[in-house]
Amino acid sequence: MFSTPFLDLPPLVAAAGTVQLPGSKSISNRVLLLAALASGTTTVHDLLDSDDTRVMLDALVQLGCGVRRDGGTTRIEGLGGQLGVASAALFLGNAGTAMRPLTAALALLGGEFELSGVPRMHERPIGDLVDALTQFGCRIDYLGNPGFPPLLIHPVDHGALALDTPIRVRGDVSSQFLTALLLALPIAATRDIVIEVMGELISKPYIEITLNLLARFGIVVRRDGWERFTIPAGSRYRSPGDIHVEADASSASYFIALGAIATSAATPSGVVTPLRIEGVGADSIQGDIRFVEAARQMGADITSGANWLEARRGAWPLKAIDLDANHIPDAAMTLAIMALYADGPSTLRNIASWRVKETDRIDAMANELQKLGATVETGPDFIRIHPLPPSAWRAASIHTYDDHRVAMCFSLAAFNPDRIAVRILDPRCVAKTFPDYFETLFSVVRAAEVPVICIDGPTASGKGTLAVEVAYRLGYHYLDSGSLYRVTGLAMRRNGLTPEPSCEAQIADMARSLPLSFIEGKVMLAEEDVTDAIRSEAAGMDASRVSALPAVREALSALQKSFQRLPGLVADGRDMGTVIFPDAPLKIYLTASAAHRAERRYKQLISKGISTTLDGLRADLEARDARDSSRSVAPLKPAQDARRLDNSSLSIEQSVDQVLAWWQQTQPFKEA
């Protein structure tokens, strides 16, 4: 997961491969609540692990429910209608799928409960649900603004519930109100309970998910059109034992769109492969699967099986669309980005619910699309997007409004024909439903050029510290090329070889097939952790000697280049800018006086309890610099286009800021 303040997506050009998507949020949170209400144990397979499901799980644990996670399964010990506590204060983040159903369930289960969330949750309406429950005989107070969380739920008198009169609820603001009632009312169904929907019910497919899952838990709701629902008397939640959560169809929309927008990447054998999505397909019970129809209408070439989808580019440019998107409110945001690549203006209608989601999504999408250069028109319940022709795209920092879907759908703007990078602010917000979204995206896309920042310089100049920190701030990968030479030196000694030209071919062979891996900051040689062993002064000297052998350098070259992966790389060493990544857009040559460097190394070693002398160290590092600078291949020297940074009198923070400032200059983003 990327927790950096921003994530820069370099221009992307192609996509191919297979993605396995995380579980559906809508199904996960409904299943969790139903499993908690049921008697018996439910084993949930492939549950989504995200902010919203964690919020629900935490709440259930607080209510006395037993939860055990075990690899890919989650076991829920149902409460069987009996809460383990009489009161609780539940914090529900920004999870509407937890707030609404828990309000209804707790109002009927009995007890004193405070339900709150993040500030945005306190702006998301819940009045229609509270009204419906209050009419029914539940007692709920608003602790802040009337009509919005936070709420205080009081114990209920089951004898006083108005079982004879239909419960009326509005259906035109959020379908989650009706879902909440459908999920919770079986608690009180000593008689038939009738729910009547007022106004045109929106997002009907989400109600279908609810009905479908209720049936899996033994409750068969009678439905008359979309206006009237009857929960039969004597309904009881029964655990189905095992239940599988299908992959999230809304999350699939980004990858379907990716297939439709990107050209396919050819495999090494020249075969062009589509983008394949596994875990959700034609048999899905999720409404957002109908995004497939909308994407096809725009020209996407999509094939499907029961639980898989494959998407390729069909029509190009995409075809403009005019769509009532009420049935796919979440996935329709993805269409708004596809519209940038269409042959005319696209209109998404009947999407007023966008205004009461994680953020006001109509305004959010319009603002950010305009930053990219697009012309956008909006109204209370529609958005119209004009396509962006080549040369019209602008580099933009996309504000994401703590809304996972804004972050995910704008990543698709990185396929723009102008080869402009896209900056996604607060990329962590995808954790709401898809914590590894960007990693998954990077596993199937190809960039025009993956950016590399090179930090070269002499021994003990602080390259490692600086490079690690810069990589961390940008969410980039990190290559410590010196460690490759150090490990090679270590392996050489263990094999009884010496760093002489006579052993060059053997050492190079060994280097080519080193069983080397970097795991959580540790350097592993096969199963052995050699992190400390390669840091000794003797290992540094050996590294310097083997690195002077041309065949060894050649042998390690491909391995070093393989670190150039999305979203970017910070590489430190001696020849990163001159030999390994000569086209890197930013090269730093880091220096400090020999006296400063010797002193830093001295402090480092003393703090580790290794005895040494300042003079000895200085002599050693000067000898190492002399060899590194005078060797015939890849001698230590600044690349012609490197920026020199003398950090003798700079703090680490100052050096990092300087490098990031230079990096910013090479980037096109203007803060909007």
Q: Is-cis flag, bond preceding 585, omega within 30?
A: no
The interface region with ligand C5P, picked from 138-146, 306-314, 441-449, 569-577 by CB under 6 A, is: 569-577
Contacts to ligand C5P from residues 13-32, by CB under 6 A: none
The interface region with ligand C5P, picked from 267-275, 302-310, 387-395, 481-489 by CB under 6 A, is: 481-489
Is residue 482 at the binding interface for ligand C5P, with CB under 6 A as the rule? yes
Q: At what angle do helices 614-630 and 594-607 cross, to 10 degrees?
A: 120
3-state helix vs strand vs coil in the chain, percent to 5: 40, 20, 40
Please tell me the distance from the alpha carbon of residue 339 to that of residue 166, in angstroms, as a whole number.
Answer: 43
Pattern 338-357, binding to ligand C5P, x per CB under 6 A? --------------------
* Least distance to ligand C5P, CB of residue 623, Å: 10
Cβ-based nearer residue to ligand C5P, 295 or 576: 576
SS3 state at 12: strand
Q: Please name which of 59, 52, 6 lies closest in space to residue 36, comparing C-alpha atoms.
A: 59
Is residue 618 at the binding interface for ligand C5P, with CB under 6 A as the rule? no
The interface region with ligand C5P, picked from 320-328, 363-371, 441-449, 483-491 by CB under 6 A, is: 483-491
* Least distance to ligand C5P, CB of residue 650, Å: 19
Is residue 386 at the binding interface for ligand C5P, with CB under 6 A as the rule? no
Contact 167, 180 (CB under 8 A): no
Cβ-based nearer residue to ligand C5P, 118 or 541: 541
Q: Please name which of 85, 96, 140 lies closest in space to residue 118, comparing C-alpha atoms.
A: 96
The interface region with ligand C5P, picked from 52-60, 141-149, 477-485, 640-648 by CB under 6 A, is: 477-485
Q: Which of 485, 581, 589, 663 binds ligand C5P (CB under 6 A)?
A: 485
Q: Please name which of 213, 233, 167 lies closest in space to residue 194, comparing C-alpha atoms.
A: 167
Q: Which of 117, 137, 149, 573 binds ligand C5P (CB under 6 A)?
A: 573
Is residue 547 at the binding interface for ligand C5P, with CB under 6 A as the rule? yes
Q: Which of 425, 523, 624, 642 binds ligand C5P (CB under 6 A)?
A: 624
Strand 586-591 and strand 643-646: the pairing is parallel
Applying CB under 6 A, the site for ligand C5P has a residue count of 15
Q: Provide the residue type at 610 as one letter.
A: I
Q: Which of 176, 284, 459, 564 binds ligand C5P (CB under 6 A)?
A: 459
The interface region with ligand C5P, picked from 48-56, 229-237, 255-263, 567-575 by CB under 6 A, is: 567-575
Q: Which of 481, 578, 591, 655 binds ligand C5P (CB under 6 A)?
A: 481
Please tell me the distance from the alpha carbon of residue 168 to that of residue 481, in angstroms, as a whole number.
Answer: 67
Q: Please name which of 188, 241, 183, 243 lies closest in space to residue 40, comparing C-alpha atoms.
A: 241
Pattern 146-175, binding to ligand C5P, x per CB under 6 A? ------------------------------
Contact 429, 8 (CB under 8 A): no
Is residue 540 at the binding interface for ligand C5P, with CB under 6 A as the rule? yes
The Cβ of residue 296 has, within 10 Å, a number of other Cβ atoms equal to 17
**Residue that the structure tokens 């995808």 belong to:** 430
Is residue 334 at the binding interface for ligand C5P, with CB under 6 A as the rule? no
Q: Please name which of 438, 453, 415 lies closest in space to residue 664, comparing C-alpha atoms.
A: 453
Three state DSSP letters for 279-344: CCCCCCCCHHHHHHHHHHHCCCEEEEECCEEEEECCCCCECCCEEECCCCCCCHHHHHHHHHHECC
* Least distance to ligand C5P, CB of residue 90, Å: 51
The interface region with ligand C5P, picked from 349-357, 425-433, 498-506, 540-548 by CB under 6 A, is: 540-548
The interface region with ligand C5P, picked from 97-105, 568-576, 604-612, 645-653 by CB under 6 A, is: 568-576
Measured on CA atoms in the order 328, 334, 336, 338, is the torsion positive or negative? negative
Q: Across the chain, how many H-helices and E-strands are there?
A: 20, 34
* Least distance to ligand C5P, CB of residue 48, Å: 42
**Residue that the structure tokens 């209510």 belong to:** 63
Q: Which of 288, 310, 469, 628 binds ligand C5P (CB under 6 A)?
A: 628
Q: Which residues are catalytic?
A: 330
* Least distance to ligand C5P, CB of residue 524, Å: 16
User: Taking phi first (over 0 means left), then psi (-120 to 50 degrees means alpha), and beta for anything else, what does residue 254 get?
Assistant: alpha
* Least distance to ligand C5P, CB of residue 571, Å: 8
Pattern 489-528, binding to ligand C5P, x per CB under 6 A? ----------------------------------------
SS3 state at 524: strand
Contact 569, 477 (CB under 8 A): yes
Q: Which of 100, 327, 423, 574 binds ligand C5P (CB under 6 A)?
A: 574
* Least distance to ligand C5P, CB of residue 543, Å: 4
Q: Which of 486, 587, 601, 618 binds ligand C5P (CB under 6 A)?
A: 486
Please tell me the distance from the alpha carbon of residue 670 to that of residue 82, in angstroms, as a whole number.
Answer: 56
Q: Contact residues for ligand C5P (CB under 6 A)? A: 459, 481-483, 485-486, 540, 543-544, 547, 573-575, 624, 628
